Amino acid sequence: MIDFHQLIGPGGKEGAREKFEALITQLVGLQHKGVMRVEANPGDWGIDAFVGEIDGVVSVWQAKFFIGGVGKSQKEQIGESFDQVVAKVKEEGFTVDAWTLCIPVDLDAPTHQWWAKWKRAQEKKHKLRIELWDKSRLGRFILTPDAASLRAAYFPGVPGPAPFVPEVLPFPDDVEYEEMLFIKQLRAANVAEVESAKQQFFNAEALGREVADKRLPDQMRALDGEQADLHSMWEDRFNERTSANPEDELLPGLHASVMAAIEARQAAAPIEPLPMHLIHRKGVMHQVVDAGRAGWVRSFRQIAHDHA
């Protein structure tokens, strides 16, 4: 867990407030490279960080270092900061499409109720989106691999998340893949047994969903890279087989050759951002086939076209 009390150093809470504002700007920057910070000179228009054009449309982040919780005074400050942004919108002629409050604590149940009611009222009145980055949500951002340098700078000694290790799932009895393209491609090549292929595809799909749900950008990029690498491996072998068998529709040995290459890749795989079992790696190959980008016979494109 991230303890935002660590931000309080010799500069006291005022210094911690400045650190918290800087941290929020940098966290926003992990998702939006064009983030800007507003220096109070003398006022900051109720904006600590923004993305967009300050004379056009912007998304705003407001940091409030309410380390002791959110009570009556803090609620008033939240309202004042929001009202200040709304006033500047009218004065300066820009548009706010989203306003995000960032606080280093989680809300108790009554305060969650207050927040939900206040949020709905302001969204309806001002036609914008309001979000809350509380302690829990900020903590999840800070513990991601992309935030490793920020975590080390602001929270030294806090370890990163445990390495992501995907599990192997059994193929469910109630899932039917027989009419899917990757199975049709295997059948066209006279591959006799396809049950393992179904489990491989199922596990690759589950892995992709888990990586996306956990918002693991390094792992998402690793999956994209794996698809590209396996497609390249298949293409080299497909071209070799079509040249060696110019009249043969079935391209004997193509499927076995690609799977053997994948097994060799698995055995030689270095430490990766996304460790995969062999079943996941072969499943990724089936995903490439199911997308219509590869197949096991010469006319794989026609099979994909007829399947669409």
Q: Does 10 have pLDDT greater than 80?
A: yes
pTM: 0.59
Residue for token digits 């197949």? Answer: 295
Residue among 174, 179, 288, 268 at smallest CA distance from 225 = 288
> What is the pLDDT of the chain when averaged over all its residues?
91
The pLDDT tens digits for 143-156 are 887 888 999 999 99
Relative to beta strand 95-102, strand 49-52 is unpaired
Is pLDDT of 275 > 70?
yes
φ, ψ of residue 60 in degrees (nearest 5)? -115, 140
Angle between helices 72-92 and 109-126 (to 10 degrees): 10
Span 88-111, pLDDT tens digits: 998 988 999 999 999 999 999 999
pLDDT digits (tens, 9 = 90+) for 31-90: 888 899 887 756 667 788 999 988 899 999 999 999 999 999 999 999 999 999 999 998
Find residue 100's DSSP bridge partners.
61, 131
From 222, 41, 63, select the one nearest 138 (Cα to Cα).
63
Least confident of 2-11, 30-39, 180-189: 30-39
Select from 116, 107, 45 the least CA-distant residue to 81. 45
Contacts 24+ apart (CB under 8 A), 186-193: 186/255, 186/296, 188/295, 188/296, 188/297, 188/299, 188/300, 188/303, 189/250, 189/251, 189/254, 189/255, 189/295, 189/296, 189/297, 190/250, 191/255, 191/296
pLDDT of residue 273 exceeding 80, the answer is no
- pLDDT over 70, % of the chain: 96
pLDDT over 70 at 270, yes or no: no
Question: What does R_g of the chain's alpha carbons equal in angstroms?
Answer: 26
Amino acid at 224: D
Largest CA distance in the chain: 81
* Band of residue 245 on the pLDDT scale cut at 50, 70, 90: confident
Question: For position 41, what pLDDT does the model report?
Answer: 59
Burial of 232 (0-12, 13-18, 19+ CB in 10 A): exposed
